[in-house]
Amino acid sequence: MELNIKKYLFAVLICLATYNAKAQLGYEYAQYDLGFAGGLNTVYGDAETKTTTKSLHVNFNYNVSPFINYVFEGQTGDLRGGDAATTPSGRQFTNNFTAFVFRGQVQAGEIMDYSHSRIANALKNFYLSTGIGYVISHMTYINRNSILIPGYSTDGLDNSNQLFIPARIGYEFKVFNKYNQPSFKVDLGYQYNFVLGDNLDGFTAGTAKDAFSQITLGFKFALGGFTSYRKQISY
C-alpha cells in the first residue's frame, strides 16, 4: 500500500512538472481576450466628398487557438461626407452610428511552420477575417437639396438598420509574459465593410450599395482560462 501511494505521488509530481515545463516552453495561451480600439472611418456612398472620422470599438475574443479567433465587437462613432456648398448634388451628412460585428479570424501561424525562420516567425501574426455585421444609422445632420442646381434633391432615410459584410486584413503583435504566454496584444487592421443597402449616408441614389472602410489600432488583454496549443507559440 505504501509503495502504491509513493508511485501515485511520483506520477502526480511528474505531471505537474510536465505541465510547468510546457508552459515555460510557450505552449499555453488564454482562451479569452478583452479588447479596445480606435478607428478612422471613410464612407463610400452617394456623397461626392469623402471625410475621415473617428470611432470607438470594444471587442470580446474567443481564441480557439492562438491563431484562430472569434471576435464579437461593438462600435460607435460618427460617419461624415459631402459638401453642400461646393458639390453639384449638395449632399452632405453626419451619421451617428452604432455597429455590431461577429467575425472569424485566421492568422498565418495556424497553417505555416514558423519554427525555423525568423521571417516566418514575424509573418505568423498576419491574419484575414470576415463575418457579418449590423449597423444602426442615425443622421444628426443631412442636406438633401442642391444649392447649385435649383430643384434638385436626393431621397433617402434619416434612420436605418442594415447588414454588412466585413473583410479585414491585419497584424496582431503578441506580447508574452514570463511563462511565454501571450498576455497582451496590439492589433493593427484595415477593414472594408460591404453594406447590404444604400442608406448608410442617408441618400438613395444610383445602383451601387454603400460601403465604409476602417483603419483600427487596438489593444487586447488576456482574461485567463489558459489552455495548451499543439506547438510552441513564441520563438
**What's the pLDDT tens digit per position in 33-82?**
999 999 999 999 999 999 999 999 999 999 999 999 999 999 999 999 99
Instruction: Determine the pLDDT at residue 47.
Output: 97
pLDDT of residue 225: 83
Residue 153 lies in a domain: yes
> Does any domain span residue 235?
no
The CATH number of the domain holding residue 132 is 2.40.160.20
| Number of compact structural domains in the chain | 1
User: Which of these, 194, 174, 68, lies nearest to 122 by C-alpha position?
Assistant: 174
Considering the domain boundaries, does residue 234 fall inside one?
A: no
Give per-residue pLDDT as tens, 141-151: 999 999 999 99
Say how many C-beta atoms besides its own lie within 10 A of residue 80's C-beta: 20
Q: Can you give the pLDDT of all 235 residues of the chain as single tens digits? A: 555 554 554 544 454 444 444 444 569 999 999 999 999 999 999 999 999 999 999 999 999 999 999 999 999 999 999 999 999 999 999 999 999 999 999 999 999 999 989 999 999 999 999 999 999 999 999 999 999 999 999 999 999 999 999 999 999 999 999 989 999 999 999 999 999 999 999 999 989 999 999 999 999 999 988 999 999 988 7
Structural domain includes residue 91: yes
Evaluate whether residue 97 is within a structural domain.
Answer: yes
What pLDDT sits at residue 150? 94
Q: For residue 8, what pLDDT is reported?
A: 53
pTM of the model: 0.88
The reply to whether 14 falls in a domain is yes
* Residue 233 falls inside a structural domain: no
* Domain-located, residue 49: yes
Q: Which residue carries 436605418 as its cell?
A: 160
Q: What is the pLDDT of residue 2?
A: 53
DSSP result, the chain: -HHHHHHHHHHHHHHHHHHHHHHHHT-EEEEEEEEEEEEEEEEESS-SSB-EEEEEEEEEEEEEETTEEEEEEEEEEEEEEE-TTTSSS--EEEEEEEEEEEEEEEEGGGTS--TT-HHHHHHTTEEEEEEEEEEEEEEEEEE-B-SSSTT-B----SEEEEEEEEEEEEEEEEEE-TTS-EEEEEEEEEEEEEESSS-TTS---SSPPPEEEEEEEEEEEEEEEEEE-SS----
Range of the domain at 12: 2-228
Q: According to the model, what pLDDT value does residue 234 have?
A: 84
